[in-house]
Structure 1
């Protein structure tokens, strides 16, 4: 991290005595000004909830403390308690990964494509009862945004949409359920949506042992009777599977992850569990073979996985090609809605690379999923 020049700190101090503290975190004066404004608004709003303690000295002390926390690298989202994910304000708490806007962009783009295709009379429409499964759900941001976009923006009836989010972390599931209740209370999501959050270990094919054992994904879904669509198979069927799994390798976490992320965000949501593999990249890619296997066995028509970068996207795409069951594979960059580069492909032209920015997501599809996405031959 580059050292801040004394003249920059001096200039910041002349603007506001607290600005140098925030500048230590942002390293950019314009960003620091914005964050300081937000922190002031946040502290004032918090103070207004306690009019009996409406003391200027207390307010100043509180503001200084949150600026000190920010200077130490504490994420703004943990200080202020929320982050926007698309149009939704999602509560954030320490111990659960902060939602990223790039993820919201990928999810929004996917649902826009599905909506446009469903309105095209020449295409196979989405099923009347659409089922979406999100694995490693964290705050629940992906299921919540998906439900909101399908029902509030694209006017799908809530009873014709089934959305499930799965995570291994009790902290994450508690926060996901809190976010659902908050959005229902404010009227953003209608009451009694067909939206649930379940605890399961997506890496495990069998249940553990003991009272505190975490069920496998199969057991968790069976417990809630998500098995009716594949008669006799004992497996549930999902139209769309999405996942933003832990994908950072141990070496990348140590060398390239920012101090703020390493110090404050949960390693469980960032770095896959250690295995005996001697390759660092294999450690970072650990979840993807399992996720692809889940997608295959649960008859998913469309799958969207978030990845760290273009190199990992290419590796995950190669795994999907090896399955030999998908009709098409795409890599979406940070902004998949941007005009794509002509002729931008990977893996000998087998994979189309869409949009602008860094590699962000891998999308695979088969059967009617191709028409749902509006993919042209």
Structure 2
């Protein structure tokens, strides 16, 4: 990490004595000023009606404490407890991956594209694997139910191996439902979170964590028992996943200090990335063959998998091509809805014939199968 020039530090201290602390984390004066303003508002908010809270000694001490935490690299989202994900404010806490805006852009674009295609069935079933905070199924539900006022039923399920993540996802669901941000109103819409080991193909140790297929079977049985008259169709229409996709070497070499120190490695690096049972697979790609196998098992019509960059996107797109079941395979950049610089026809270095859409870094791989193009 480059040293800050003394002149920049002097300028920051002259502006505000707390600013140099925040500057250590942001390395940019404009960003530091913005973050310090947000932290002031965060400290002032609970007692905003009692006057200028920052004139209070205890409040100034609290603000300084938060600035010291930020100086050590603690993410602002963990300090303030929330992050925006599309139109939703998602609760965050240490031990659960912080939602990224680039992921939200892909989810929003997918929901818009599927809505415009008019190819969604009356009863849509959406499965999100490695759900973390629950941000993806929450945003998908918000987009389809509120934004597009879609008729018919939406059934969404988020899956994770982390009990801590699932607890936070449930908390986000309750809070956003209670304040009216999202409307989950059975039987027209439902959103559930379940625990499962996505990489496990069988229940080697069910007392610890069951496999995904066992968890989905138990979920279906519960839904059927709750409503015996319901027509429980098989399969899932949409499969989304933001899996761990960083190899151990890339994690050690390129991941920022803040992410290494504060965000869960379980959500970033595949847990079996060094295992020998994946010959020929890049250590960061371990989840993708399994995700594509699951997509086939659950008869998914649409998949959207987040990736690290264009190089990994090319490898994942090539895996999808080898299945010979997808009508359309595309790579989306950070902003897939924006016009790209290549006329939508740039080829990845690995998977030929794959369109790369949007602007920014390679972000996700989209695939669709059916009689018409989505």
Tell me whether the two structures share a fold, i.e. TM-score over 0.5: yes
Match of 2:194 in 1: 198
Cα deviation digits, residues 15-68 of structure 1 (max 9, x gap) = 0000000000000000000000000000111455999x9981100100000000
* Structure 1 range deviating more: 41-50 or 196-205: 41-50
**Residue pair 1:47, 1:54 contacting (<8 A) in 2 also:** no
CA distance in 2, matches of 1:173, 1:291: 20
- Residue 160 (structure 2) aligned to one of 164, 167, 171: 167
CA distance in 1, matches of 2:58, 2:275: 53
Deviations 1:212-254 (A, max 9, x none): x2011111111011798xxxxx994011100000000001000
Superposition misfits of 4+ residues, deviation over 6 angstroms: 278-281
Relative to structure 1, is the Cα distance of residues 348 and 182 closer, same or farther in structure 2, using a 3 angstrom cutoff? closer
Alignment of structure 1 residues 1-377 onto 2, 5 Å: 1-48=1-48, 56-118=56-118, 125-157=119-151, 160-192=153-185, 193-209=189-205, 211=207, 213-225=208-220, 236-274=234-272, 275-277=274-276, 282-340=282-340, 341-342=342-343, 343-346=345-348, 347=350, 349-368=352-371, 370-371=372-373, 373=374
Q: Is the 8 A contact 2:315 2:351 kept in 1?
A: no
* Residues 57/357 of structure 1: CA separation in 2 closer, same or farther (3 Å cut): same
For residue 14 of structure 2, give the secondary structure of its aligned residue in structure 1: helix
Q: Is the 8 A contact 2:54 2:60 kept in 1?
A: no
Deviations along 1:133-190, one digit per CA (max 9) or x if unpaired, are 0000000000000000000000014x61011100000000000000000001110112
State the Cα RMSD in Å. 2.2
Q: Closer, same or farther in 2 for the Cα pair 1:201/1:20, shift >3 Å?
A: same
CA distance in 2, matches of 1:50, 1:77: 26
CA contact 1:250–1:280 (8 Å) conserved in 2: no
SS at match of 2:65: helix
What SS is found at the alignment partner of 1:224?
helix
For residue 122 of structure 1, what is the aligned residue in structure 2? none
> 1:86 Cα shift?
0.2
Unaligned runs of 5+ in 2: 225-231
**How far apart are the structure 2 equivalents of 1:127 and 1:186?**
29
Aligned partners of 1:289 and 1:191: how far apart in 2? 33
The structural deviation recorded for 1:191 is: 4.6
Kindly indicate whether the alpha-carbon contact (under 8 Å) linking 2:127 and 2:239 is maintained by their aligned counterparts in 1: yes
TM-score normalised over the length of structure 2: 0.91
Seen in structure 2, the aligned counterparts of structure 1 residues 348 and 257 have a Cα distance that, compared at 3 Å, is closer
- For 1:247 and 1:37, how far apart are their aligned partners in 2? 34
CA 1:36–1:55: 2 relative to 1, 3 Å: closer
Paired with 2:49 and 2:279, the residues of 1 have a C-alpha distance of: 53
Q: Secondary structure at the match of 1:248?
A: coil
How many residue pairs were aligned?
357
